Structures are given as structure tokens and as C-alpha cells.
Amino acid sequence: MSAPDSTQTVSSVPITNEQHSLGRSLLLHILPGVFILALFVAGVPLVARLGLPPLFAMLTFGTAFGLAFQVWHLYTEGKKRNGRASLAGIVLYRQPMPLWQYFALVPLFVVLGFLIDGLTAPLKLAMVNSMPWLPQWFEMRAVSLLAAYSRPALVITFACSALFNGIAAPIVEELYFRGYLMPRLSRFGRWTPVLETALFTVYHFWHSLSLLAALLLDYPIPLHAAGCLCGLLEAERQARYPHPHGTEPAGRVAHGSHASWNVSLRKLRHACLCSGT
């Protein structure tokens, strides 16, 4: 017999009786990143022997296991709660939202991401260059590093990138971080999206040579700051004009922005290497 539903929606943040301590939430945010980083580093020598770039190790060893852990944890919690493999009451943000918000807000936030990324690029590069103690291959997305590999190796790598970064990661990460972890910090009210944005950024600590650059300037900030802003705006809108269906653009718009960014020209610009241009 499934457990009774113990969730409700207050403002834009679903409220659940289950709340995580900050320590537990931090652990659940960081643990997948630890697995990703450890398996990435361990997999680099293997893929190097196969003539593939380090990015391939990140995708097939690190990202795949990190996402698998997130799915496993969600369904483990679901089985405890529901007695079967179900995400009912585990992943929230299931309310409908107007279709026009996808087409209006997702492009807006992706453009915002491009602008912030471009404006902060010089500072980010300076911060990364100030920490040279990690191996060169650690910055796996550097064009200068990828250019050294054969076209078939790059085609295989970018195909995996489209699969894992463009499809799997946006779905799984939004379910895990925004649908599962964020509501369990709902006691912080309208500041919950801000806190979740910070913790989600920490999860990406492997993303750059410089941890500080990753935390302050790298990929999570442009889009998830936008998602955070969307959450705060929705919180204010719901507080003033409650909607009977409890629409929740913060989660779904961030999901769309997440996927769009991961498969955007910023990521696919390396495809020119495959054609030698």
C-alpha cells in the first residue's frame, strides 16, 4: 500500500513534510560529483590507449555513473515510500504550465547564458590559468586539446556528448536536483531556489581546472541563475495571484534551458574540428 501524499504547494516551491538538513543536502549534492570526478580520472588512461580524448572518459565513465547513481537514489527512495519502483511523492514539480512559457522563457535564458558566458570569459580564463598544477587533460573541453585527436575519435566523443549531455543529463539532473532535493529545502521559502542554485553549482566542481572559476563563472551560473530568477519571480506571482493548478516554470523552464544549453553551439562548436575547419 502506498504512503499518503504529504506534499503541498506553497508559492512556487512544493512543500514536503520530509526536510533534509543542510549537511545531508550538501552530501547528496556533492556525492554524484565525487563519483563523476573519480571515475573520470580513473578512465583517462584507458581511453588514451584507445586514442580517444579525455572528454570521452568523462562522458562514458564519469557522467554515466553519476547519472546512474542519481536514478538509483530516486528509485530507492521511491520504493521506501511507495513500496514499489515509483517516483510518486519523491520527484515534485509535476504541475502543468502553459506551453508558451517554454518558447518564451527557454530561449531568453539561453541567450542570457551566452551573454554572461561571453562577458565573464576573460576573467574565467585568467582564474583557470592561475591554477596550473592539474594536468592539461583535466580541462577536457579545451579546443587545443581536442584538436590533437582524429576525426573518428571526435565524432564518437561528440555523439556520446549529445546523448549524455544533451538528453540524459538534463532529464536526470533536473529530476534529482530540482525535483527531489530542492523541495526538501523548502523551509527556506523563497530563498530555496537561491540555495539550490548554489548547491547545484558546487556539484559541478570538476567542471574546470579552477574550482573557484567553476563555482563563480562556469556553465552552471548563467542558466541556473536564470532558473533561480524564474523561481523567485514565480514565488512572487503565486504569492500575489495564487493559481489553482500551481504552475511551476522554475523547474520546467530550467529543464528546457539546461537541455538547450548542453546541445547549444557553445558545446557543439567543437564539431568544426571533425571537419577540419
DSSP 92: -
Query: Cβ(102)–Cβ(254) under 8 Å?
Result: no
Give residue 50's pLDDT: 94
Least confident of 75-89, 167-181, 244-258: 244-258
Tell me which H or E stretch contains 275. helix 272-275
Average pLDDT of the segment spanning 71-98: 88
How many domains, the chain?
1
Return d(Cα 143, Cα 180) in angstroms, integer.
35
Nearest by Cα to 269 from 178, 146, 127, 111: 146
118 grid coordinates: 561571453
Is residue 124 within 8 A of residue 214, CB to CB? The reply is no
**What is 193-261 written as a DSSP string?**
HHHHHHHHHHHTTTSSS-HHHHHHTSTHHHHHHHHHHHHHHHHHHHHHS--TT---HHHHHHHHHHHHH
pLDDT of residue 52: 95
- pLDDT higher for 214 or 25? 25
Residue 218 lies in a domain: yes
Which domain covers residue 254, as residue numbers?
91-275
Q: Is the pLDDT of residue 119 over 80?
A: no
How far from the centroid of its chain's Cα atoms is residue 124's Cα?
A: 19
Is 162 a domain residue? yes
- Asked whether residue 53 is domain-assigned, the answer is no
Residues 12-46: pLDDT tens digits? 444 567 899 999 999 999 999 999 999 999 999 99
Give domain status of residue 117, yes or no: yes
| Mean pLDDT value of segment 141-168 | 86
Q: Considering the domain boundaries, does residue 55 fall inside one? A: no
pTM, entire model: 0.75
In this structure, of 2-11, 83-92, 109-118, 189-198, the range with the lowest mean pLDDT score is 2-11
Top-confidence residue, 209 or 137: 137
Please indicate, yes or no, if residue 64 is contained in any of the structural domains. no
> Does residue 140 lie within any of the structural domains?
yes
Q: What is the DSSP letter of 14?
A: E
- Decide if 145 is inside a domain: yes
Please choose, from the candidates 74, 49, 51, 269, the residue with its C-alpha nearest in 3D space to the C-alpha of residue 161: 269
Q: How many residues does the chain have?
A: 277
Q: Which of 275, 263, 245, 246 has the alpha carbon at shortest distance from 106?
A: 263
* pLDDT tens per residue across span 192-207: 877 888 888 788 877 6
SS3 125: helix
The burial of 1, by beta-carbon neighbours within 10 Å (0-12 exposed, 13-18 middle, 19 or more buried), is given as exposed
Helix (H, G, I), strand (E, B) or coil at 4: coil
Give the pLDDT confidence score for residue 145 in this predicted structure.
81
Q: What is the pLDDT of residue 156?
A: 93
Give the model's pLDDT for residue 270: 47
Q: What is the mean pLDDT of residues 59-63?
A: 93
Highest-scoring range by mean pLDDT, 111-125, 142-156, 250-264 = 142-156
